[in-house]
């Protein structure tokens, strides 16, 4: 049987807004919801059909592909269910649980709760840890590895993180009968519905500890230290956050560890200023060097480099050393070193120096600045970014 047009399923126009599509789906889902139509296979299929249509039309990328290519354009689009056999992975093998877990917000939590986690015990997760790491410019440019001693919650070595004295120190939770969830019946405008939530007695684990570990007192975690090696890629920047999976606080009762979040801080460099992936160095030269030309050394991250100052170099000129900046953290090349030329003017001169300067001042070549050779501020800015 051919699939119906998704807009037809939700009874909306092709130009419908996101709010109109959501409202139409809510209307269809409430109409064909299994709780309102117990045992009605036709209603269940229409409920699934509406969910499939909403999955595509509520996603801008999927909707654009569907508008252009129709159902053929949705093959392998991927979505919940993972079947890949139709739009959003709905082609077969998806369940009512899949629908409710993805669209529970549509119903405000009233519908579908009975399907969430049924028969599955809850897994604890440890909290994340956030630390700051200061890096020098050289470490940022070359990348580095840091070994850090972290104070955190670790798994109890006496019970292996379970919290129990031994494997016989457990009993099935009598509140949820081992399911980890309890069901609550709610009276709504649409009739009686049921929701599931983690058991308040065992906190979703389905079992309780009868004889706790004497070291961690049943928690499964204790305070301790761990030395963690963190590889920091080249090109990271101030405020960037790296995540090291599973290196955060340990979880209660042998659950999943949290993550370690590493916040990058840059230490100021004594010579170089970072601007994105470029580095800036302010070079001071003398008037004779600017007028006659010279060869000078400038610092880079790893060593010094020689550059040539052309005769007649003006203050504010920018010299570019390509590839001497910071690597892009995503691998897209490397920035440059920009050398900004400044001409040093002495704060005071002695008598002989004054005579020489006065003699130069009488020369026609020094009486008036040649405006044609001086770049204005706008020219300098353009030169800076070339």
Binding annotation for Zn(2+): 156, 159, 173, 176, 199, 202, 213, 216
The token pair at 337 is: 């070193």
∠ Cα 312 313 318 (to 5°):
165
Please state, as a whole number, how many other Cβ atoms lie within 10 Å of the Cβ of residue 272.
24
Q: Is 139 helix (H, G, I), strand (E, B) or coil?
A: helix
Tell the burial category of 245 from Cβ atoms under 10 Å away from its Cβ (0-12, 13-18, 19+): exposed
User: Cα(80)–Cα(58) distance, rounded to whole angstroms?
Assistant: 14
The token pair at 20 is: 């109109």
H or E, element range at 149: strand 144-155
H or E, element range at 225: strand 221-232
∠ Cα 219 173 192 (to 5°):
120
User: Cα(119)–Cα(117) distance, rounded to whole angstroms?
Assistant: 6
* Helix, strand, coil % over all residues of the chain, rounded to 5: 30, 25, 45
User: Cα(314)–Cα(326) distance, rounded to whole angstroms?
Assistant: 27
User: Cα(316)–Cα(280) distance, rounded to whole angstroms?
Assistant: 13
Q: Which residue numbers belong to the known binding site?
A: 156, 159, 173, 176, 199, 202, 213, 216
DSSP β-bridge partners for residue 155: 221
DSSP string, 102-120: HHGGGGTTSSSGGGTTTT-
The token pair at 93 is: 């093998």
């Amino acid at each position: 049987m051919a699939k119906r047009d998704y807009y037809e399923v939700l009874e909306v126009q092709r130009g419908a807004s996101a709010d109109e599509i959501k409202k139409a789906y809510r209307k269809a889902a409430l109409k064909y919801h299994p709780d309102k139509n117990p045992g009605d296979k036709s209603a269940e299929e229409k409920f699934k059909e509406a969910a499939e249509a909403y999955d595509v039309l509520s996603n801008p990328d999927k909707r654009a592909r569907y508008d252009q290519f129709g159902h053929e354009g949705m093959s392998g689009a991927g979505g919940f269910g993972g079947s890949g056999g139709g739009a959003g992975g709905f082609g077969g093998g998806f369940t009512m649980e899949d629908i409710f877990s993805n669209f529970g917000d549509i119903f405000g939590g009233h519908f579908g709760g009975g399907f969430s986690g049924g028969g599955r015990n809850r897994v604890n997760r440890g909290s994340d840890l956030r630390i700051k790491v200061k890096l020098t410019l050289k470490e940022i440019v070359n990348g580095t590895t840091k070994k850090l001693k972290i104070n955190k919650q670790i798994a109890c070595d006496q019970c292996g993180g379970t919290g129990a004295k031994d494997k016989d120190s457990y009993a099935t939770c009598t509140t949820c009968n081992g399911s980890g969830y309890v069901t609550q019946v709610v009276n709504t405008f649409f009739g009686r519905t049921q929701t599931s939530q983690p058991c308040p007695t065992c906190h979703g684990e389905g079992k309780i500890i009868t004889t706790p570990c004497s070291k961690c007192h049943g928690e499964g975690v204790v305070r301790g230290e761990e030395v963690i090696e963190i590889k920091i890629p080249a090109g990271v920047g101030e405020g960037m956050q790296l995540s090291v999976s599973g290196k955060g606080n340990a979880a209660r009762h042998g659950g999943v560890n949290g993550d370690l979040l590493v916040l990058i801080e840059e230490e100021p460099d004594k010579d170089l200023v970072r601007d994105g992936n470029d580095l800036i160095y302010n070079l001071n030269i003398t008037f004779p060097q600017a007028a006659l030309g010279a060869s000078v050394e400038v610092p880079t991250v790893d060593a010094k480099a020689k550059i040539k100052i052309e005769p007649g170099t003006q203050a504010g000129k920018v010299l570019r050393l390509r590839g001497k900046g910071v690597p892009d953290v995503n691998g897209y090349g490397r920035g440059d070193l920009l050398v900004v030329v400044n001409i040093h003017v002495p704060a005071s001169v002695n008598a002989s120096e004054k005579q020489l300067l006065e003699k130069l001042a009488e020369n026609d070549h020094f009486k008036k600045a040649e405006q044609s050779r001086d770049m204005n501020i706008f020219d300098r800015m353009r030169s800076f970014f070339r």
